[in-house]
């Protein structure tokens, strides 16, 4: 049965969503990303069960990197909470764009809570692509299945990265750690179509190592805040000049 077939139950729609997730290109990105995050968690001495729980509760790879690196560096819990919250604000517009596709029919507020939590870049892109072709009554179940497929992949490969880092020589373990920033860099560079995006990427690549070398607390968060602000200022000055 095709992923976009008419389903005869919510369960069928759910498992079609899982199948769609596991056969999409995003699952490969998640594998590489969470192998790196698992290695990062191991490097900072965090437990594997904690990594799995944080994946389910936070469900945003950049936020998890901030969470793990900040806790590993000994940052205060309040500072860590603020940093993770700020990184999650970027998902709010995605939720706003997704909800109109899910609402309607007999959908209740409580039915929308799970898809709201599940919203991530991979789930959002695939939902916008696939949901319009589905009948309204099966969209929430399909969306939840899509998200469970992605989240399950993340949890499994987080464990893979964690235990690979525990058993590999330091050089190979360090290579696993590099998978996370590399996957973020490639995906960001691929999606940087506007000049402001490209400028922000350059500022981030410059500021990140500088702030790390200066031992600035929450360096990843400040790289985003400062780099993004400077990129926006350059964008406005460029528009004013033209």
Q: What range does the domain containing 209 cover?
A: 192-242
Domain termination residue (choose one: 134, 163, 182) = 182
Note whether 85 and 204 are same-domain residues: no
Interval 20-38 mean pLDDT: 87
**Which ranges constitute the DSSP H helices of 192-218?**
195-213
The pLDDT, as a whole number, for residue 154 is 94
Q: Has residue 230 been placed in a domain?
A: yes
pLDDT digits over 58-89, tens only?
Answer: 998 888 988 998 888 788 888 888 888 888 88
| Percent of the chain at pLDDT exceeding 70 | 86
Note whether 86 and 155 are same-domain residues: yes
Domain termination residue (choose one: 182, 207, 232) = 182
Q: Give 7's pLDDT tier (boundaries 50, 70, 90).
A: confident
**With the C-alpha atoms ordered 12, 117, 151, 125, is the resulting torsion angle positive or negative?**
positive
Q: Count structural domains, the chain.
A: 2
Note whether 41 and 74 are same-domain residues: yes
Q: Has residue 43 been placed in a domain?
A: yes
Please indicate whether residue 135 or residue 109 has the higher confidence score (pLDDT): 135
pLDDT digits over 113-137, tens only?
Answer: 889 999 988 888 888 888 888 888 8
Note whether 150 and 238 are same-domain residues: no
Q: Has residue 69 been placed in a domain?
A: yes
pTM: 0.74
Report the phi/psi class of residue 107: left, alpha or beta, with left for phi > 0 and alpha for psi in -120 to 50: beta
Note whether 30 and 63 are same-domain residues: yes
Read off the tokens for 208: 């990140």
Q: 140 with 107: CB under 8 angstroms?
A: yes
Q: Is the pLDDT of residue 233 over 70?
A: yes
Q: 40 with 220: CB under 8 angstroms?
A: no
The pLDDT, as a whole number, for residue 176 is 66
Nearest to 155 by CA among 27, 34, 19: 34
Note whether 130 and 217 are same-domain residues: no
Cα distance between residue 195 and residue 192, in whole Å: 8
Note whether 49 and 164 are same-domain residues: yes
Q: Has residue 208 been placed in a domain?
A: yes
Domain termination residue (choose one: 161, 182, 203) = 182
Q: Would you give the DSSP letter of residue 1?
A: -
Q: Has residue 1 been placed in a domain?
A: no
Nearest to 17 by CA among 31, 34, 4, 32: 4
Q: 142 with 131: CB under 8 angstroms?
A: yes
pLDDT digits over 181-207, tens only?
Answer: 666 666 666 666 677 778 888 888 888
The pLDDT, as a whole number, for residue 57 is 92
Please indicate whether residue 87 or residue 21 has the higher confidence score (pLDDT): 21
Q: Has residue 4 been placed in a domain?
A: no
Cα distance between residue 187 and residue 122, in whole Å: 11
Q: Has residue 23 been placed in a domain?
A: yes
Note whether 176 and 236 are same-domain residues: no
Q: Has residue 3 been placed in a domain?
A: no
């Amino acid at each position: 049965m095709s992923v976009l077939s008419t389903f005869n139950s919510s369960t069928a729609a759910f498992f079609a969503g899982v199948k769609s997730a596991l056969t999409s290109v995003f699952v490969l990105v998640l594998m590489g990303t969470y192998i790196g995050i698992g290695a990062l968690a191991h490097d900072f001495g965090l437990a594997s069960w904690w990594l799995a729980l944080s994946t389910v509760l936070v469900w945003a790879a950049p936020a998890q990197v901030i969470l793990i690196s900040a806790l590993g560096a000994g940052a205060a819990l309040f500072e860590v909470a603020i940093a993770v919250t700020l990184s999650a604000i970027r998902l709010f517009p995605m939720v706003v764009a997704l909800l109109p596709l899910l609402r309607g029919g007999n959908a209740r507020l409580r039915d929308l809570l799970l898809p709201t939590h599940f919203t991530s870049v991979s789930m959002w892109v695939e939902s916008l692509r696939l949901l319009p072709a589905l009948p309204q009554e099966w969209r929430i179940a399909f969306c939840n299945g899509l998200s469970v497929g992605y989240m399950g992949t993340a949890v499994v490969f987080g464990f893979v990265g964690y235990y690979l880092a525990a058993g590999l020589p330091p050089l190979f373990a360090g290579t696993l750690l590099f998978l996370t920033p590399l996957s973020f860099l490639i995906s960001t560079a691929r999606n940087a179509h506007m000049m402001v995006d490209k400028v922000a990427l350059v500022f981030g690549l410059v500021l990140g190592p500088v702030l790390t070398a200066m031992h600035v607390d929450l360096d990843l968060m400040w790289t985003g805040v400062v780099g993004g602000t400077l990129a926006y200022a350059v964008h406005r000055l460029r528009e004013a000049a033209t």
